[in-house]
């Protein structure tokens, strides 16, 4: 087994390669968008980015396996080293030229998340974290906020745009959070929302319908920056599909309670 630092370096190189490709690629026009689900688009840029990432990861770590949103979306039994990849998180933002999208690569060893890289494509900033090694942007160590008063908190979220059946529950939660905080932000890329939490720009975050590749890397960043990420029921097992609640320790506890009661 390789050292976690070796794994995060491999992920950094693969993410940087994909980010450079995305920046250089010609943005697809509307007729080239494929709607794989309700309001959920994919393009040849997403697929090519994932292929580049998969090639780089499996070349540098022979025998490792890639679970990616576009080409290999099945999260089967855990292997020794499994990469959990979103080749372009925030595709709709990318297609509209809204500068909030990223490459996200998480790494699990024997089923446990151990490393993560989120590369902010428009800003060309790489965020990385390893289990026990902290969360970083370059030489700057990341830390969640220390805010404890909900009425001063800024909370990130994501809309349940793929599953309208969740909308009534979400709107009740949204109203409760809005009534008790200083504001809510929805930028449309969960990986970068979790980066903002790890960096102390958000105090909390929640979303009701996320996939493993949406959160794998960001979860490592938040936890290594001193924050908590769980399901609504408090479970720390997040490598599945469902809701995520995250925050600094104080805000996470408060947000979980608020959302449950809403």
Composition of the chain by helix, strand, coil, percent to 5: 40, 30, 35
Residues 45 and 79 in one domain: yes
d(C-alpha 242, C-alpha 147), whole Å: 27
Specify the number of domains making up the chain.
2
**The whole model's pTM is what?**
0.93
Whether residue 254 is predicted with pLDDT greater than 70 in this model: the reply is yes
- Please indicate, yes or no, whether residues 130 and 64 belong to a single structural domain of this protein: yes
pLDDT digit string (tens) for 72-115? 666 555 668 999 999 999 999 999 999 999 999 999 999 999 99
pLDDT at position 1 over 50: no
DSSP 3-state assignment of 153? coil
Q: Which residues pair with 155 in a beta bridge?
A: 184, 204
- 17: pLDDT confidence band, cut at 50, 70 and 90? very high
Same domain, 54 and 168: no
Domain containing 126 — which CATH number? 3.30.540.10
SS3 114: strand
Q: Which residue in 231, 244, 237, 219 sits closest to 105, CA to CA?
A: 219
- Within 10 A of 148 (CB to CB), how many other CB atoms are there? 13
Task: List the alpha helices (DSSP H) in 25-100.
Answer: 44-60, 91-96
């Amino acid at each position: 087994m390789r050292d976690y630092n070796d794994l995060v370096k491999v992920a950094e190189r693969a993410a940087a390669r994909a980010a450079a490709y995305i920046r250089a690629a010609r943005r697809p026009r509307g007729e080239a968008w494929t709607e794989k689900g309700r309001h959920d688009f994919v393009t040849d840029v997403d697929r090519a980015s994932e292929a580049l990432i998969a090639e780089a990861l499996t070349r540098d770590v022979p025998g490792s396996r890639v679970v990616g949103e576009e080409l290999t979306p099945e999260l089967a039994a855990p292997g020794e080293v499994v990469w959990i990849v979103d080749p372009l998180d925030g595709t709709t933002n990318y297609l509209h030229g809204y500068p909030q999208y990223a490459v996200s690569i998480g790494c699990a060893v024997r089923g446990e998340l151990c490393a993560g890289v989120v590369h902010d494509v428009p800003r060309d900033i790489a965020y990385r974290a390893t289990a026990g090694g902290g969360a970083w942007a370059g030489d700057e160590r990341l830390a969640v906020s220390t805010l404890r008063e909900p009425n001063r908190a800024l909370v990130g979220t994501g809309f349940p745009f793929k599953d309208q059946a969740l909308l009534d529950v979400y709107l009740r939660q949204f109203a409760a959070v809005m009534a008790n905080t200083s504001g809510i932000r929805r930028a449309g890329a969960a990986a970068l929302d979790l980066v903002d939490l790890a960096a102390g720009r958000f105090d909390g975050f929640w979303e009701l319908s996320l996939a493993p590749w949406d959160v794998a890397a960001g979860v490592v960043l938040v936890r290594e920056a001193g924050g908590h990420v769980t399901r609504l029921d408090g479970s720390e097992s997040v490598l599945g599909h469902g809701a995520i609640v995250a925050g600094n320790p104080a805000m996470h506890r408060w947000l979980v309670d608020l959302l449950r009661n809403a």
